[in-house]
Amino acid sequence: MLAKHLLSNTIVPLRTSDPGTRALEMMDDFKVMHLPIVNNVDFLGLISEEDILNFNDPAKPLGDHKLSLIKPYVSENQHIYDIIKVVYEQKLTVIPVLDKMKGYKGAVMMSELLARIAEMAAIQQPGAIIVLELNEKDYLLSEIVQIVESNDARILSLYTSSPRDSTKLELTLKINKMDISAVMATLGRYEYTIKASFSEEQYWDDLMDRYDALINYLNI
């Protein structure tokens, strides 16, 4: 999934002739805290809500102020993982997308990223979660997949994480079944440490409610 496939249809870039008050109105409309400033197709940088609120006179055009713009961006052919990394590291609500000639192509909104991440994690599909704790050298995905599939189940998504102050690796599996007792029993026989599991249907209803509430809030 590339940046050019995630471009927002609603984000309109600012111009230096736009007053700060107009920029604040647009940020409120789009529910973001950053907007790109573009001159034709030249990306000048991102301005934040905080920048504008610090202006002595927000009613003046943006170009009349001394701007110290940050210039984070991704190229149109960068993967969604690269986008998430930049957004996370720089705490952005919008990330500009440029073409190979550094021309402005559009922007990706945080709400769109969240929606795509949910798709990739199969969050909207029914199933259960198993969290395994293991040493990195013991991580053998082919064996884990075989164990799951031998119990007439399949992995919808998975991800790994390394908790702070720990030498262990955590592997989180989303399984396409609500009843995962057989899968867990087989994992136990293979001496895998099951750190946590979530298989209650109520858990998924609650998770979906929270996800829908978040998306609705970002799209208000």
pLDDT tens per residue, range 98-147: 999 999 999 999 888 888 877 766 667 788 899 999 998 889 999 999 99
| Domain count across the chain | 2
In this structure, the answer to whether residues 106 and 148 fall within a common structural domain is: no
Nearest residue to 73 (alpha-carbon basis) of 42, 97, 94: 97
In this structure, the answer to whether residues 113 and 178 fall within a common structural domain is no
Q: For residue 42, which of 64, 62, 18, 14 has the smallest C-alpha distance?
A: 14
Model confidence pLDDT, tens digit, residues 168-203: 899 999 999 988 999 999 999 999 999 988 875 545
Do 40 and 113 lie in one domain? The reply is: yes
Give residue 160's pLDDT band: very low, low, confident or very high (50, 70, 90).
Answer: confident
Residue 108 shares a structural domain with residue 151:
no
> 142 is in which domain, residue-wise?
122-209
pTM over 0.75: no
Please name which of 139, 124, 133 lies closest in space to residue 174, comparing C-alpha atoms.
124
Element at 130 (helix H, strand E): strand 128-135
Listed residue (172, 175, 165, 178) closest to 195, CA to CA: 172
Say which residues have a Cβ less than 8 Å from residue 88's Cβ, sequence separation at least 6: none
> Are the beta carbons of 2 and 77 closer than 8 angstroms?
yes
**Helices within 94-200 (DSSP H only):** 110-120, 141-150, 181-189
Same domain (yes/no): 137, 110: no
CA distances from 61 to 18, 22, 25, 65, 143 (A): 5, 9, 14, 7, 61
